[in-house]
Amino acid sequence: MGNKKSSENSQKPFEVQIGVRLSASIKELLKEVPQDVHPIKKQIYKEALSRLNQQDKEQIMIYIKCNQNTVISQVLYNEIKIQMMDGPYNYKSDFNSQQQPTKSWYVNFSDKNLFGFYHTPLFAQDEVQCCQFPLLPYIKQYIQAYSKQEEGYFPVTRVGMNSYPILVLNCQYLCYVDLLKKNKNYPYGIYGNNFEKLKKEDVNEFFSFPKLEETKNLINLICMSALSIFSQKGQSREYTEAEIVYTFETVYRAFYSAVQESKSNNQNVYVVINTGNWGSGAFGNNLVFTVLVQLAAAHLAKVNCLNYYPFDDQGKYGYQEGYKLFQIFIKQMQQNQVELSLQFQLNFIQFCINQKFTWGSSNGF
């Protein structure tokens, strides 16, 4: 990424400062080899990356670390499309009825240490994406090396109660992962801690490596870190106002930055964000709460379409309950004729406090 750094500035039509940006070709990234990779994951990365030819390696990837000076837009956006999807992410092209140019994003349920567990047998959403997009560990390694000479780029998405969502653009989708498959040897599949049981000779039962022309869409990721139950001393209690504010501002900052980046050259771009049960697995957040926050933040950030992937029945229930609360809140705002975003945000925080959401528990994934 060397000399291709910049800071988002007044060149943007919206004149907002998203954060610091670095770009590099895949060829450059491959020089920074991740260390201590888990042996099964190393096997998967190697097989997936072997699909790249010399022309593919000229592709530029972009890393943007969002700052905290996020501008709150002044007027609410009332045309967001929200829909529940089936299964895990499918990374297919998103289309809209207006035939506008479309920019799609997928939320990475990041730990505060970005892409931080490829050396372990863990296999939750972040680790799954590192196999689907095996250049992610390389970009982390590259950024770490670059950060030694330039402050502000280090790949962390949270410091204390301050969030720094990270956008990664133009990710090559190089590996299919079958998260739903189960058999007699793997009755619970390979997700989460079950990955630890996966044997080298069984990798091809769950992972496949398509030709690049079959996965020619470049994928854009939104990496954001939720607070975790580990900082709550394992106690089930209500969310504090500070925790609610952190969660809302984190999601809003991430979604808003993705929208601004998408529209940087064309304000008519239709922005699609794909998300799911963010922060509700190992981190122990209340699923209904995180659904509600994502819906409200997408509304305020002027996302055109939000696709929610609940993954399982528990996720579907959480989504449905969160969506009901979102509709109740929107109805209240309409009745009170709230049109300005600041009022929306303040009212939303109070609405969440009134729900008395409580922390859950970590599922170990």
Domain count, the chain: 1
**362 part of a folded domain:** no
Q: What is the reported pLDDT for 143?
A: 95
**250 part of a folded domain:** yes
Q: What is the reported pLDDT for 230?
A: 56
Asked if 164 contacts 65 with a C-beta cutoff of 8 angstroms, the reply is yes
**189 part of a folded domain:** yes
**115 part of a folded domain:** yes
Q: What is the reported pLDDT for 340?
A: 66
Contacts of residue 320, Cβ cutoff 8 Å, sequence gap at least 6: 84
**222 part of a folded domain:** yes
**159 part of a folded domain:** yes
Asked if 255 contacts 303 with a C-beta cutoff of 8 angstroms, the reply is yes
Instruction: With residue 176 as reference, give the H or E element that holds it.
Output: strand 176-177
Q: What is the reported pLDDT for 360?
A: 77
**134 part of a folded domain:** yes
Contacts of residue 22, Cβ cutoff 8 Å, sequence gap at least 6: 1, 4, 5, 62, 63, 143, 146, 153
Beta strand pairing call for 19-25 and 176-177? unpaired
Contacts of residue 358, Cβ cutoff 8 Å, sequence gap at least 6: 236, 237, 238, 239, 286
Mean pLDDT by 10 residues, the chain (365 residues): 42 50 95 93 95 93 85 68 89 68 92 90 91 95 90 89 94 92 94 93 93 75 87 70 94 94 91 92 86 94 94 90 95 80 85 93 56
Which two structure tokens, joined as six digits, stand for 70?
Answer: 């996020």
Q: What is the pTM of this model?
A: 0.89
Q: What is the reported pLDDT for 184?
A: 93
List the domain range (segments joined by +) for residue 287.
6-355
CATH number of 274's domain: 3.40.220.10
**116 part of a folded domain:** yes
Q: What is the reported pLDDT for 228?
A: 83
Q: 99: alpha, beta or left, given left = phi > 0 and alpha = psi -120 to 50?
A: left
